[in-house]
Structure 1
Amino acid sequence: MKSDMGLMMNIILGVVGAIILSFILRLTGIGGGASASFSFAYLITGFVGACLLILIARAVRR
């Protein structure tokens, strides 16, 4: 991935994006909410949230 952002910035944006998307999905009732244990749904939510926030940050920086 060609990016001017460093590795730490990508990690931070990824974690924040995962947290934000998980929160939004829980508010809308789409997110699991059953237990805090690891599941495949949490993995997918985290991945998508991280990608979206990194994409937004890159678009804003340009």
Structure 2
Amino acid sequence: MKTDDGLLMNIVLGIVGALVLNWLLVLIVGATLGGWIGQLIVAAAGACLLIFVVRLVRRKT
């Protein structure tokens, strides 16, 4: 995947995505996945989703 996003931008998007998905799970379900493995899964999924969405939006503009 060739993108113009820098490493720092991907790191920031990853952290924000992890926080947002964790927050959404607390709102919707009332809890997040337990333990550090569950938190790691939620963080990775949130990071991937936010990076994917940002790349989709940037591609269309």
Fold match, TM over 0.5?
A: yes
Give the alignment's Cα RMSD to 1 decimal. Answer: 1.8
The corresponding residue for 2:25 is: 25
Q: Normalised by the size of structure 1, how large is the TM-score? A: 0.84
For CA contacts below 8 A with separation 6 or more, give which structure has more relative contact order.
1
Runs of 4+ in 1 over 6 A off after TM superposition: none
Displacement after TM superposition at 1:30 (Å): 5.5
Q: Normalised by the size of structure 2, how large is the TM-score? A: 0.85
% identity of equivalent residues = 47
Stretches of structure 1 lacking an aligned partner (at least 5 in a row)? none
Q: How many residues align?
A: 59
Matches within 5 A, 1:29-48: 29=29, 31-32=31-32, 39-48=36-45
Stretches of structure 2 lacking an aligned partner (at least 5 in a row)? none
Where is the helix percentage greater, Structure 1 or Structure 2? 2
